[in-house]
Amino acid sequence: MKRHSFAFILTLLWLLGGCGTKQNQQENLVNMTRTQFDALLDSDKLILVDFYADWCGPCKKMTPYLEEIKTEMSDKVTLVRINTDDNPELAQQLSIEGLPTLLLFKNKSLVWQNVGYIPKEEVVKQLN
């Protein structure tokens, strides 16, 4: 059986929506390793990853509708939001060069990506 770090387990619990306050949940996604990121992709659901930064205007504009998608499509999609300022190594390893960047994974494979602002309707099209 694989042994995982406490921080990794907290990250998984956060993604499943069952651990800690919002502030603590955000702290759990600091310094995520590539191994931890790859483990998040192990799901029967689609995984929508949002790479963002707090200072990014388009990122802020997309946040409300991404939260709506997270709620409205929770049976089909898992939304993972990763702050690039808190995870610079991971962003570099995944070649994230612009913000916001959305990555959509299905069965651990990247099936779609977008760099820059995109309207909710266009994201939802990719998820259906």
Residues 72-94: tens digit of each pLDDT:
999 999 999 999 999 999 999 99
Q: What is the pLDDT of residue 3?
A: 52
Tens of pLDDT, residues 18-33:
444 333 344 456 889 9
pLDDT at 96 over 90: yes
- Of 48, 56, 62, 103, the catalytic one is 56
- Of 59, 79, 80, 91, the catalytic one is 59
Active site residue 19: no
Mean pLDDT in residue range 36-59:
96
Rounded Cα gap, residues 100 and 60, in angstroms: 9
At 67, is the pLDDT very low, low, confident or very high (cuts 50, 70, 90)? very high
Spell out where 1-128 has E strands.
46-52, 77-83, 101-106, 109-115
Which residues touch 102 (CB under 8 Å, ≥6 apart)?
48, 49, 50, 51, 112, 113, 114, 118, 123
